[in-house]
Amino acid sequence: MGVSKEDERYYKEKILKYFMEKKVTFFMFRNAGSRIDKFTVSRSSLLFTGVFIVACIISICIAAFHYHNSNIDLLENKIFAQIEEIKNQRGQVQTFANEINRLKSQLIHLNSFEEKIRVIANIENAIGQDSLFGVGGSAPDDLSPDISLKDKHNSLIREMHQQVDEIEKASVKQENKFKSLLSSLEDKRNLLASTPAIMPTDGWMSSSFGYRISPFTGRREFHKGQDIGARKGEPVRTSANGVVTYAGVKGSFGTVVVVNHGHGMVTRYAHLSKALKKKGDAVKRGDIIGKVGNTGRSTGTHLHYEVVLNGVRVDPRKYIIN
């Protein structure tokens, strides 16, 4: 005969109750082997304690596993962030390398521009200013920033430091060269401003510089200036910047104005009907200093114009540009 379900349930409960109510006794002994104590626990309590301990161990293992995984994730994120930072820094290094190349190119362009100005103005380099980059004179080769971000940039950084130092020295040298050029151009400007370069009055050439037949003696003589025929009262202008050193009547010149332009250059304006400047007056090119007349030893209304360089009279036509 088979066992009914009620009987099967009954026997299971009896067996379980038997094991659960069964007692387990533990004895504790000394090292010498003598018993010192005993204690008894039910199997149910022992089972519960074992299950609790296993559960605790499993929980600790799960917590340690999650902690380990979280640390790995954190470490991976930190390493990734550091890699990105290194890539960013190397990208900045490449950008700075390109900027150094650009600055070096601009410095070379400025040096070339300065040299062109010197050629145009006929101004030579000062001693010791022939080369911009050291003794050899040639600029350092351009940096090569096209290095993979994965590669180390140590060599590029060393080259950058070297070229920054060279560019700094070259920029100081270029600044000094520009200062020298500016000073030379200023001297040139002053010289040009002091050079008699315009006709002193409107009129026509009646007698040029050089040998001619004197209208007074009929003999061949050297004419030391330039005669410009013009109407009486026509304005007479100084042909360059300078200072009036004489204004008044002087022998055969009649009424005359003398202007010292510096650099060994002097101009005279003679036979004036009137002088409009006095000794010590500063004048600029184009200022009216008198009026055309016929005073002194003269055969008609005109302006006698002289240019004197270092005490020697020279042909005024060599300087007139208008």
pLDDT interval class at 38 (50, 70, 90): low
Instruction: Tell me the pLDDT band of 232, cut-offs 50, 70 and 90.
Output: very high
pLDDT band for position 59 (cuts 50, 70, 90)? confident
Confidence of residue 124 (pLDDT cuts 50, 70, 90): confident
Q: How far is residue 286's CA from residue 202's CA, in Å, rounded to a whole number?
A: 12
Q: One-letter amino acid identity for 41?
A: V
- Segments in the chain forming alpha helices (H): 5-21, 43-121, 154-193
Q: In which band, very low, low, confident or very high, does the pLDDT at 126 lie, cut at 50, 70 and 90?
A: low
Judged against a pLDDT cut of 90, whether residue 107 lies above it is answered with: no
**CA 181 – CA 193 distance, rounded (Å):** 18
pLDDT the model gives residue 153:
56
Per-residue model confidence (pLDDT) at position 142: 64
Tokens 């090292």 locate to 31
pLDDT above 80 (res 303): yes
The pLDDT of residue 145 is 59
pLDDT digits (tens, 9 = 90+) for 134-168: 544 556 666 665 666 555 556 767 777 777 888 88
* Tokens found for residue 285: 């090119």
Crossing angle between the packed helical segments 154-193 and 43-121, to the nearest 10 degrees: 30
The answer to whether residue 288 scores a pLDDT higher than 70 is yes
Under 8 Å CB-to-CB from 11, ≥6 apart: which residues?
3
> Is 128's pLDDT higher than 60?
no
Q: Contact, 322 vs 199, CB < 8 A?
A: yes
In 3-state terms, what secondary structure has residue 38? strand
Q: Tell whether the model's pLDDT for residue 244 goes beyond 70.
A: yes
262 to 140, 189, 244, 266: CA distances (angstroms): 46, 13, 11, 7
Residue 193 banded pLDDT, cuts 50, 70, 90:
confident
Looking at the predicted structure, is the pLDDT value of residue 216 above 70? no
Query: Does the model's pTM come out above 0.75?
Result: no
Q: Measuring CA to CA, which residue among 256, 285, 254 is closest to residue 268?
A: 256
Element (H, E) at 289: strand 288-292
CA distance 88 to 83: 9
Q: Which residue in 172, 160, 157, 156 sits closest to 107, CA to CA?
A: 172
